[in-house]
Amino acid sequence: MTSASLLTARPAAPLKGTVRAPGDKSISHRSMILGAMASGVTDIEGLLEGDDILATARAAEAFGATVERHPDGKLGDGRWRVTGQGALKAPAGVIDCGNAGTGVRLLMGAAAGYPIDVTFDGDASLRKRPMKRVTGPLASMGARFAWNADEDRLPVTLSGGGLTAIDFVQSVASAQVKSAILLAGLNATGVTTVTEPEKSRDHTERMLRAFGATVDVEEAGEGWIVRLAGGQTLTGTTVAVPGDPSSAAFPLAAGLIVPGSEVTVEGVMLNPLRTGLFDTWREMGADLTIANHRVSGGEDVGDITARHSALKGVVVPEARAASMIDEYPILAATAAFAEGRTIMRGVGEMRVKESDRITLMVNGLRACGVAVEEEAEGFIVTGGPVAGGATVATAHDHRIAMSHLVLGLAAQAPVSVLDPEMIATSFPGFVEMMRGLGADIGS
């Protein structure tokens, strides 16, 4: 990854080749946190070694776990070992989560169950992100929070222990909120219940079972009810981290929009709660095929090939948002090349990610000559020739940066993004991978 403060993507020749997706970010976070909470050794393969995950690894170590690269591992292969003590210990200093929103929210849930005091903080971007969506239900369970200033923003000091289970009904499905509550529920008195109106990603439920916990899931309309009894202990295990579909989306999107391209990404997780983008692309007419479908580490995985396609605009079902909330920026970039309108609604959560992703995508696409309508809870992209020729503000958001760089590969003129360094938080090696496929991306 270049250290320049500006990256430029230039119209590309056909992209060709096979690459491997980096490890899934969601599972990487959870493997570190559950490994720290468990008794014994957890061996991890395929861990995403991005900045966000390394911040969570440092936090796990601060909570008393031993975290080290696997004795047989080396930089870049994702082989790590976490040795937990069966409980989180009070850290000696502040837990700095960097830019990791998932990391801090899940760590809050985990720490809430232990009689310890912990101060959580992060970088300037993370300090802008709302925390009460997690601290609210944790406080209902008995955790105490002392805010430094704004009672919704970091830094905050948590005092844990003495929790009581709750029945929590989510108005908007959120895997982060659900996961924080379930992790706290492990050490709460009673049975903790989380009800979701739509199904959010279920990696926490799957991984808790892999670590020896009992988690019950009951279908409830379009969503489900998740139950977990308190007083359960976790035992170290082996975790094989599959490829991240959110990261795989970027080279696959380039394959769809750059004429003459054929790009394969190997080892991509195909959990049905994470494949909403792929379903949407197919509805748009994408030539997207899956081979070598298999099960690895308890998750469905496969090799996905994307070929240049004539895309058409669609109405994305609002109920699909929970399965692809992080993929709307790259969907919007591909929609810019589709015939007609792509309507994306019910995605207000995009405004409280690393940035206001709706406004940033709208502004960036408009700067590149794309017709976009912004709404409070979504946006509409009308496709056509994409002029490009713009320098796009990213607000240090990795997905905004990568989405516009992919856009620039098929635009009529180069597209530059400011502050691209944050790409390393989720996709170290992104630029090198894209160049290996034939993309012209550089300073």
CB atoms within 10 A of CB 198: 19
For 165, how many CA atoms within 13 A lie in the half-sphere containing its CB?
18
Q: 7: Cβ–Cβ under 8 A, 6 or more apart, which residues?
A: 401, 405, 416, 417, 420, 431, 441, 442, 443
> Order of strands across the sheet with 378-382?
315-316, 341-345, 378-382, 371-375
Residues 196, 224: contact at Cβ < 8 Å? Answer: yes
Q: Please say whether the beta carbons of 395 and 360 come within 8 A.
A: yes
Q: Point out the catalytic residue in the list 43, 123, 244, 326.
A: 326
Are 31 and 38 in contact by the 8 Å Cβ rule? The answer is no
The answer to whether 331 and 297 have CB atoms below 8 angstroms apart is no
Taking a C-beta distance cutoff of 8 angstroms, is the pair 360, 430 a contact? no
Residues 6+ apart with CB under 8 A from 68: 80, 81
Whether the Cβ atoms of residue 160 and residue 114 lie closer than 8 Å to each other: yes
Q: Which amino acid is at 256?
A: L
Give CA–CA dist 68/61, Å, rounded.
9
Tokens, residue 272 = 């049905």
CA 127 to chain CA centroid, nearest Å? 18
Which amino acid does the sequence have at 305?
T
The answer to whether 121 is a known catalytic residue is no
Cα 121 to Cα 258: distance, rounded to the nearest angstrom: 41
CA distance 261 to 74: 33
Burial class (CB in 10 A: 0-12, 13-18, 19+), 5: exposed
Active site amino acids:
326
